[in-house]
Structure 1
Amino acid sequence: MNYFTQFWDENRDDEYADWGNSVWYFETNDADQVIKQVTIYDNGKLVKYSEDNIEDKFGGLCEGALTIDDCDGEEITKEDFYKVWS
């Protein structure tokens, strides 16, 4: 498994735009498929997705392969990811 984050310095382009910027956390498998994903917005709102919750009215689990290089992210530890996940 791989764990990394991405800072997104743009607001959402929907009715939740006032949530502010966001930090995304990803857990990917060896095929670079996103297994779990957490997004934390400036206002404190947290959304998370996995096979148990693929999508909701706020967004959804990233489709397709994603690597740390694709999003200019930063590597984190499994422990750091699960601190945010739980």
Structure 2
Amino acid sequence: MWYFETDDEGWPVRQVELYDVGRLLRYGPGRSEDRYGSLGQARLYDSDEGWSTFEITEVEFERAWRTYDE
């Protein structure tokens, strides 16, 4: 499961990646990449796809983001 926080133009600002095997990766200010991956480098609003069905609340994103610290 991947979570993205984007700016007004659709560029990823923060990103959380949760994997079935229990690994959690987090990218954002101060940590844009590591040996496993990096913060997304493509606008999420570039296509005609209906991304609105995948939108989550700020609370849901923050919950996933904080999981990294627990």
- Structure 1 pair 71/58, CA: closer, same or farther in 2 (3 Å)? farther
How many residues end up aligned between the 2 structures? 64
Which structure shows the bigger proportion of residues in helix conformation?
A: 2
How do residues 54-69 of structure 1 correspond to structure 2 at under 5 angstroms? 54-67=32-45, 69=49
The percentage of aligned residue pairs carrying the same residue is: 36
How far residue 51 of structure 1 moved from its aligned partner, in angstroms, is: 2.3
Match of 1:5 in 2: none
Gapped regions of structure 2 (runs ≥ 5): none
Deviations along 1:45-81, one digit per CA (max 9) or x if unpaired, are 0001002101000100001311393878611000000
The runs of 5 or more residues in structure 1 that have no matched partner are 1-22
Normalization by structure 1: what TM-score? Answer: 0.66
**Deviation of residue 83 (structure 1)?**
0.3
Of 7, 11, 26, the residue aligned with 1:29 is 7
The root-mean-square deviation of aligned C-alpha atoms, in Å, is 2.2
TM-score computed with the length of structure 2 as normaliser: 0.80
| Structure 1 CA distance for aligned equivalents of residues 51 and 25 of structure 2 | 19
Match of 1:38 in 2: 16
SS in 1 for 2:8: coil
